[in-house]
Chain A
Amino acid sequence: MKFMVIVKADANTEAGFLFSEPPPTEMGKFNESLVKAGVLLAGEGLHPSSKGARIRYDGTQRTVIDGPFAETKELVAGFWLIQVKSKDEAIEWLKRAPFGDGAVIEIRQVFSPEDFGPALTPELKANEERLRAQAAAQQQQQ
């Protein structure tokens, strides 16, 4: 099963210090262990919310609000996508992550096609597989 590991923002990440804590070498080592175990699918870091925006939809209305956003603890600073056998395995991996005092991460399970039941009709399933193939082909070209 796939999990998204969400690293929550703090004052440092919102100030643009991606590597304030932990030091890059320690996080690099942790990432390397994830890669070697075949667990890591992807990982990205996000710029502070000051470079972002929010879009709110109310019926046909679209409201754009530029960052920064004040509720630092609710924001995301980065994420990993991992493939493991259980939620417990995901938790065991993340317990070993070199985070400092007060850091909070959130582990969330990712939907897979079988979770959609009857909503994913055979026609939609075929369409989805075609989309994935197209996405994979585009990724190859980069």
Chain B
Amino acid sequence: MRFMIIRKADAETESETSPVGKEHEQLLKDMMAYNQAMLDAGIMRGGQGLKPSSAGARIQFRDGKPTVTDGPFTEAKELIAGFTLIEVKSKEEAIEWVRRWPASDGHGNVSLELRQLYELEDFEGVAGPELKELEKQMHASPDVPR
């Protein structure tokens, strides 16, 4: 089963400067080592880091009509700073991996959320063959997170 590890945003990830400074070298090093361990275990399925919400936007649909609001968005704790996708045998195994998240991230104080991904089998009876083929094409890219 596949899980998405969601790294919640905080004041630092929402600031314009992160993570470009020289002081982030240790964090990058630690994240790479963590990613390497996941790759070596054969469980890494992708991931990305997100720029602050100031570079983003929200779209709200009302009666099918979209309204666009540009970032930044103030509720930092509700925002996402990045994600990693893993494939493991159980939720417990996923939790064991997440416990090993690098301590240098967020200076040892971070919140992560673990969420299970839908699989093709979950669409049984709902999706036709074309839709299943499309779903297969859409499955996440192999990029490793930064």
Contacts and interface: CB of A to CB of B under 8 A. Distances in A.
A107 B58 contact: yes
Contact of A47 (B28, B98, B116, B138): B116
Contacts of A84: none
B64 A101 contact: yes
B114 interface: yes
Nearest to A125: B28
Contacts of A41: 141
A18 B118 contact: yes
Given A101-B61, A116-B20, A54 B114 contact: yes
Interface string B26-56: 0111001001100100101110111101011
Interface in A76-134: 76, 78-81, 87, 90-91, 94-95, 98-111, 113, 115-121, 124, 127-128, 131-132, 134
A104 B108 CA distance: 32
A134 B39 contact: yes
Given A3-B56, A107-B58, 4 more contacts: A52-B3, A57-B112, A90-B57, A110-B48
Interface of B: 3-4, 6, 19-25, 27-29, 32, 35-36, 39, 42, 44-46, 48-51, 53, 55-64, 66, 68, 73, 75, 78, 80, 83, 85, 91, 94-95, 98-99, 101, 103, 106, 108-118, 122, 126-127, 130-131, 134, 137-144, 146
Interface of A: 2-4, 6, 18-19, 24-25, 28, 31-32, 35, 40-47, 49, 51-60, 62, 64, 69, 71, 73-74, 76, 78-81, 87, 90-91, 94-95, 98-111, 113, 115-121, 124, 127-128, 131-132, 134-136, 138-139
